[in-house]
Amino acid sequence: MPNTLNKRRAKRLGKKQLRRKVLHRIISRDFVSRMNDDEYRREAKRVYGGPKGAFLTVASTLSLHIPMGERLFRKRKFDLRGVRSALDVGSGAGQLAKHLLKYGDPGINVTCTDLLQPMLCRARTRLDSPVPEFVAADLATLPFADGSFDCVTCGYVLEHLPDPVPGLKEMARVLQTGGRMFLLVTEDTFSGAWTSRLWSCRTHNRKELLRVCENLGLILKQEIWFTRMHKAFRAGGICVEIVKQ
């Protein structure tokens, strides 16, 4: 009898997971994974160079990602103490860069990059600080020397690349050995599927993404969750601290 019950439960679970995958496939916009580099850049410019890009800070505030993200740095879940030179990849409107400036050590050097000049202008206005350097750059071809930074932050950017490997390779290249990375990525969950549709991005499987990171010498140090509720419901996306071997 116990074996029969276990088989029934496993069958029900399998059907539930299949329905979830089908629903995610219907909702999400996974066309990004089939783009070439030029198509990806055009799509990014279309999405973030227009009204959606201007609305990004408001959307991040309404979704509570800005206050919850700040809490991670304030509570030292990702500890910025000791960081001398930080690169914020795909800065957008400066959401993560603001935390770097606020919770990093005095004298920290911060470099903000984004594919689009309009987003860099928004970040510059929002941050209103003489500290950051703003550089227009593609994640797949960062214009920095090897090992230029001891910290890299990248929030909800990797999912806009057709293939995450070139972006991860570039971040690993400019990161010093022993340097740390704060990585936020849209996950292949129900909420992630809606994010994919709204912001024209792909989603990533947690285990597969971390396996790719490991193959590149980027080793998981810890999984980070916004709150206990996010952890319980596997919400908020993939948020991890990674160390370069």
Phi-psi region of 123 (alpha: psi -120 to 50; beta: other; left: phi over 0): alpha
Residue 21 within any structural domain of the chain: no
Residue 5 within any structural domain of the chain: no
Find the mean pLDDT for residues 96-112: 97
Residue 177 within any structural domain of the chain: yes
Neighbours of 35 (CB within 10 A): 18
Structural domain of 99: 28-244
Dump pLDDT digits (tens) for 219-237.
Answer: 999 999 999 999 998 888 9
Q: Within 13 Å of residue 37, how many CA atoms lie on the same side as its CB?
A: 8
User: Which CATH number goes with the domain that contains 221?
Assistant: 3.40.50.150
Residue 225 within any structural domain of the chain: yes
pLDDT for position 175: 98
Find the mean pLDDT for residues 97-109: 97
Residue 201 within any structural domain of the chain: yes
Residue 17 within any structural domain of the chain: no
CA 235-240-243 angle, 5° bins: 175
pLDDT for position 72: 97
Between CA 126 and CA 124 the distance in angstroms is: 6
Residue 56 within any structural domain of the chain: yes
Dump pLDDT digits (tens) for 39-70.
Answer: 878 887 787 877 777 777 777 777 777 889 99
pLDDT for position 83: 98
Q: What's the number of domains the chain is made of? A: 1
pLDDT for position 28: 55
pLDDT for position 5: 55
